[in-house]
Chains A and B, each alone.
Chain A
Amino acid sequence: MKLVKAIIRPEKLGDVLKALYQSEVRGLTVSRVQGHGGETESVETYRGTSVKMELTEKVMLDIGVSEPFVDIAVKAVLNAAQTGGVGDGKIFVIPLEAVHRIRTGERDQAAVTPVAS
Chain B
Amino acid sequence: MMSTTRPRPADGGLAPMALAVAMRLALPALLLLFAPEVVGAQEEAAISGGDTAWLLISTALVLLMTAGLAFFYGGLVPSKNVLNTMMMSFIAFGFAGIAWAVAGYSLAFGAGGAFIGDFSMAFLNGVGLEPSGTIPHALFMAFQATFAIITAALISGAVVGRLRFGPYVAFITFWGLLVYAPVAHWVWSSEGWLFGLSALDFAGGAVVHVNAGAAALAAALVLGPRSDFGRQAMLPHNVPFVLLGAGLLWFGWMGFNGGSALAANELAALGVVNTLLAPAATLVVWSLLDVTFAKHITAVGAATGIVVGLVAVTPAAGFVSPMSAIAIGAIAALPSYFIIRWRAKSGLDDSLDVFAAHGAGGFTGAILTGVFATTALNSAGQDGLLYGNPRQVLIQLIAVLAVFVYSAVGTVVILKAIQLVTALRPASDLERRGMDVISHGEEGYATGDGAVIILDEELNGTPASAPTPAVAGGRA
- Chain B residues with Cβ below 8 Å from A43 are 441, 454
Interface string of B435-462 (1 = CB under 8 A from A): 0010001110011011111100001000
Within 8 A of A (CB), among B450-476: 450-454, 459, 468-469, 471, 474-476
What residues of A have a CB within 8 angstroms of the CB of B228 in the complex? 11, 14
Within 8 A of A (CB), among B418-433: 429, 432-433
A51, B447: Cα distance in complex, Å = 13
Q: Which chain A residues border B475 with CB–CB below 8 Å?
A: 38, 86
Give the one of A38, A52, A54, A86 with max B CB within 10 A: A52
Do B476 and A45 touch across chains, with their CB atoms under 8 A apart?
no
**A14 B231 Cβ-Cβ under 8 A:** yes
Determine if B449 and A49 form an interchain contact, defined as CB atoms under 8 angstroms apart.
no
**Cβ-based interface call for B292 (8 A):** no
- What's the tally of chain B residues with a CB closer than 8 Å to chain A? 25
Residue A97, interface by CB 8 Å: no
Report chain A residues within 8 Å CB of B42. Answer: none
A14 and B233 alpha carbons, distance in the complex (Å): 10
Q: How near does chain B come to A7, taking the closest CB pair, in angstroms?
A: 11
Are the C-beta atoms of A54 and B452 separated by less than 8 Å?
A: yes
A105 to B449, CA, bound (A): 40
Q: Which residues of B contact A52 (CB under 8 A)?
A: 451-454, 468
Size of interface on A: residues with Cβ below 8 Å to B: 24
CA distance A38 to B441 in the complex (A): 20
- Whether a CB of chain A sits under 8 angstroms from the CB of B232 is yes
Q: Which residues of chain B are near A36, meaning CB under 8 Å?
A: 450, 469, 471
A54-B453 contact in complex given A14-B228, A44-B442, A46-B442, C-beta closer than 8 Å: no
Q: Which residue of B lies closest to A37 (CB)?
A: B476
Which residues between 258 and 297 of chain B lie within 8 Å of chain A, taking CB atoms?
none
Query: A85–B441 contact, CB under 8 A?
Result: no
The answer, among A14, A53, A86, for a CB contact under 8 Å with B450, is A53
Task: Report whether over half of chain B's contact residues are helix, strand or loop; otherwise say mixed.
Answer: loop
B452 to chain A, nearest CB (A): 5
User: In the complex the two chains form, is B476's CB within 8 Å of A90's CB?
Assistant: yes
**A83-B429 in contact given A52-B451, A52-B452, A55-B449 (Cβ < 8 Å):** yes
CB atoms of B451 and A38 under 8 A apart = no
Instruction: Collect the chain B residues with CB atoms within 8 Å of residue A83's CB.
Output: 429
Residue among A9, A34, A44 making CB contact with B437, cutoff 8 Å:
A44
Return the contact of A54 from the options B429, B442, B447, B450 (Cβ within 8 A).
B450
CB distance from A27 to the nearest CB of B (A): 22
- Does A22 reach chain B (CB closer than 8 Å)? no
A43 to B441, CA, bound (A): 7
Q: Provide the B370-398 mask, 1 if CB < 8 A to any CB of A, else 0.
A: 00000000000000000000000000000
CB proximity to B under 8 Å, residues A41-78:
41-46, 49-55
For B431, the closest partner residue in chain A by CB is: A11
Q: Are A51 and B476 in contact (CB under 8 A)?
A: no
Q: Return the chain B residue nearest A87 by Cβ.
A: B476
Q: Are B469 and A44 in contact (CB under 8 A)?
A: no
- Which residues of the partner chain A approach B446 to less than 8 Å between Cβ atoms? 44, 53
Residues of B contacting A34 in the complex (Cβ-Cβ under 8 angstroms): 447, 449-450
Contacts of A85 in B (CB 8 A): 429
Q: How far is the CA of A86 from the CA of B429 in the complex (A)?
A: 13
Residues B437 and A50 in contact, CB atoms below 8 Å apart: no
The interface residues of chain B lying within 8 Å CB-to-CB of A45 are: 441-442
Smallest CB-CB separation from B473: which chain A residue? A38
Nearest CB of A to B331, in Å: 39
Return the chain A residue nearest B231 by Cβ: A14
Given contacts A14-B232, A37-B471, A45-B441, A50 and B476 within 8 Å (CB-CB): no
Chain A residues closer than 8 Å to B432, beta-carbon distance: 11
Please name all residues of chain A whose beta carbon is closer than 8 Å to the beta carbon of B447 when the two chains form the complex: 34
- The smallest beta-carbon distance between B157 and chain A, in angstroms, is 22
Nearest chain B residue, comparing its CB with the CB of A11: B432
Give chain A residues whose Cβ lies under 8 Å from the Cβ of B232: 14
Q: B471 contacts which chain A residues (CB < 8 A)?
A: 36-38
In the bound complex, what is the Cα–Cα distance between A81 and B459 (angstroms)?
34
What is the minimal beta-carbon distance from B47 to any residue of chain A, in angstroms? 42
Residues of A within 8 A of B469 (CB): 36, 54
Taking each of A11, A38, A85, A90, which has the highest tally of chain B beta carbons within 10 Å of its own beta carbon?
A11
Please give me the residue from chain A that is nearest to B456 by CB atom: A50
Interface residues of B (CB under 8 A from A): 228, 231-232, 429, 432-433, 437, 441-443, 446-447, 449-454, 459, 468-469, 471, 474-476
| 3 closest Cβ pairs, A-B complex | A55-B450, A38-B475, A37-B476
12 additional contacts (CB under 8 A) given A9-B433, A44-B451, A55-B451: A14-B231, A36-B450, A36-B469, A38-B475, A41-B468, A42-B437, A44-B446, A51-B453, A53-B451, A54-B469, A55-B449, A86-B476
Chain A interface (Cβ < 8 Å from any Cβ of B): 9, 11, 14, 34, 36-38, 41-46, 49-55, 83, 85-86, 90
Q: List 28 A-B contacts (CB under 8 A).
A: A11-B228, A11-B433, A14-B231, A14-B232, A34-B447, A36-B469, A36-B471, A37-B476, A38-B471, A38-B474, A38-B476, A44-B441, A44-B442, A44-B446, A44-B451, A49-B453, A50-B453, A50-B454, A51-B453, A52-B452, A52-B468, A54-B450, A54-B469, A55-B449, A55-B450, A55-B451, A85-B429, A86-B475
